[in-house]
Amino acid sequence: MSPEDNRNLDNLLNNFGAARLGEGDVVAGANLLTAMAIALANVQRPGGGLVTWDGDMITVGSSLLISGAHSCSLISERVLDGLATRQVNLIARLSRRKRDTGTATGHSGSYQTCASDPAALWDGAIMEQLCQPGAMTDHQANESWGLIVQVPPRVDVRDLHENPLVFLTGVTAAKVIGQLERCHLNRPFIHVGLDGPADFAQYQHQIPAVMDGRMAVGATAERIRGEVVVTDPNALLGEAMRMDQPSARWVSRMIWLLDGSAGPEPGGAEDVECSVALGGVARRFESAMRLAWSQRLSDRVGGPVMLDFDFTGAQAHWIASLKKIEPEFPGITGTARGLYATLQYGLQQMVTAAGIPEGFRLPADQVLALAKHLVFRMVNMRAVALRSAAKARRLHLEACILRKLGDGPLCLRDLVRKFDRFPSEQCHELLVGMEASGRLIQSRGKWQLARPALLTVPDDESLILEA
């Protein structure tokens, strides 16, 4: 990140009180702030996002993997628990009404949509007219059918009885998938947890299908597309990256919120300007989340919530930044394409949830800096994991070579034959390095141990030997 990016990042984190959010840990505070913003975007109705004055739109929403005990604890307590509580309260209210009225789909007067609402009248009448021969001209019918497939029907509170799930969770993939038929507006926000390495495998097909919109449920094969948050308190992600587990590759399709010193670290910028702090961030988040749920469920809101914001220049800058680091993290451009817009959307919702302090600003440059900070931490963590994996493999091969040379000197060709698919060029490179470190010597074209009487080689070749 550039010095300007560092200044913008520190300004944003200072203004939103990241150190306080993270209980003194600025990295964890930045992760919590990010999770708050993304959760606000993920709860919105399908299609919510940013729109420019001339009609360009970008939808928002991102999937997250939270790795590390501190960030998992903070985000679970201050974001996920609140989502789960709201979902439980909604189910309880619907269950009580079902019990009191004796039906889950009763046409109670209190649930009738206002008859003077033109949108509600259109929703109810258009299909009836289309089904009556001669009620419309051919042109009117064609226009109406085009609108039917383009515009979703108006939300009806009565539908909540059948499809009430906005936020859902489960301890197994089967439990999660079994709930999708009842998800609200076909856009679920799903929480799953990783308790052991085997959990990567159980989610490797279903979770990507939900994120991509390839999941179809029910007799009519309704398409489900939603966002997922994965909690990894035991930091299994690092081990999965080091081992290059095929079953864990789906996690690279998510934004990672990482504990620890993955780098870059915030707080190192010089000449940070003194700007106006937002204040009351936790309360603002609760207010914004309450509003987000009301807009999601209400039959008085006409459609998805769009925020007027000229994102075009910032989004182009963001995509250009992602393409530069694509070689270091293949697929990052697709994974993080919507991250900037999602952060801008969610943070703006928190800003407007209460009175805005005079002089407070939320420029796109600061939000871009937060997005870059998150992505660079992902890239750095992956690079460290891959280097660790390469080092472990090298040490393992060196241990195997020492063991095989324990039976006596061998030429390069004979040594390579004792391995399965071990390139001679790589073997020779390792031999030269081990000779330089004094562990091997070469005599008359054969390699042998430098100190055979003092060397102990483990029988278990999976052990790493430091000779």
| pLDDT tens per residue across span 261-278 | 777 777 765 666 667 888
CATH number (domain holding residue 428): 1.10.10.10
CA pair distance 168, 52, nearest whole angstrom? 33
Residue 457 lies in a domain: no
What per-residue confidence (pLDDT) applies to 274?
Answer: 63
Average pLDDT score over residue span 74-82: 97
One domain for residues 293 and 410: no
What per-residue confidence (pLDDT) applies to 160?
Answer: 86
Q: Choose the final residue of a domain: 386, 406, 435.
A: 386
Q: Choose the final residue of a domain: 368, 386, 404.
A: 386
- Residue among 440, 342, 380, 356 at smallest CA distance from 36: 342
CA pair distance 278, 350, nearest whole angstrom? 10
Lowest mean pLDDT among 79-88, 183-192, 379-388, 438-447: 379-388
CA pair distance 266, 366, nearest whole angstrom? 13
Residue 197 lies in a domain: yes
Residue 215 lies in a domain: yes
Residue 188 lies in a domain: yes
What per-residue confidence (pLDDT) applies to 452?
Answer: 60
Q: Choose the final residue of a domain: 386, 409, 435.
A: 386
Q: Is 67 helix (H, G, I), strand (E, B) or coil?
A: strand
Reported confidence tier of residue 74, pLDDT bands at 50, 70, 90: very high
Tell me which of 131 and 64 has the higher pLDDT: 64
Lowest mean pLDDT among 99-113, 216-230, 335-349: 99-113
One domain for residues 328 and 417: no
Residue 455 lies in a domain: no
One domain for residues 400 and 308: no
One domain for residues 173 and 304: yes
pLDDT above 50 for 403:
yes
Contact 251, 63 (CB under 8 A): no
Taken as a whole, the chain contains a residue count of 467
Average pLDDT score over residue span 212-225: 89
One domain for residues 305 and 408: no
One domain for residues 86 and 144: no
Lowest mean pLDDT among 162-171, 283-292, 358-367, 403-412: 403-412
One domain for residues 270 and 381: yes
Residue 456 lies in a domain: no
**Average pLDDT for the chain:** 85
One domain for residues 41 and 127: no
Print the domain residue range for 427: 391-449
Token reading at 91: 């189910």
pLDDT above 90 for 188:
yes
One domain for residues 256 and 142: no
Threshold 0.85, pTM exceeds: no
Tell me which of 395 and 293 has the higher pLDDT: 293
What per-residue confidence (pLDDT) applies to 421?
Answer: 77
Tell me which of 241 and 453 has the higher pLDDT: 241
One domain for residues 438 and 336: no
Residue 459 lies in a domain: no
Q: How far, in whole angstroms, is CA 463 from its chain's centroid? A: 35
Number of domains in the chain: 3
Residue 19 lies in a domain: yes
What per-residue confidence (pLDDT) applies to 258?
Answer: 94
One domain for residues 251 and 370: yes
Across the beta sheet with 306-308, what order do the strands follow? 57-59, 49-51, 306-308
One domain for residues 127 and 54: no
369 phi-psi bin (left φ>0, alpha ψ -120 to 50, beta other): alpha
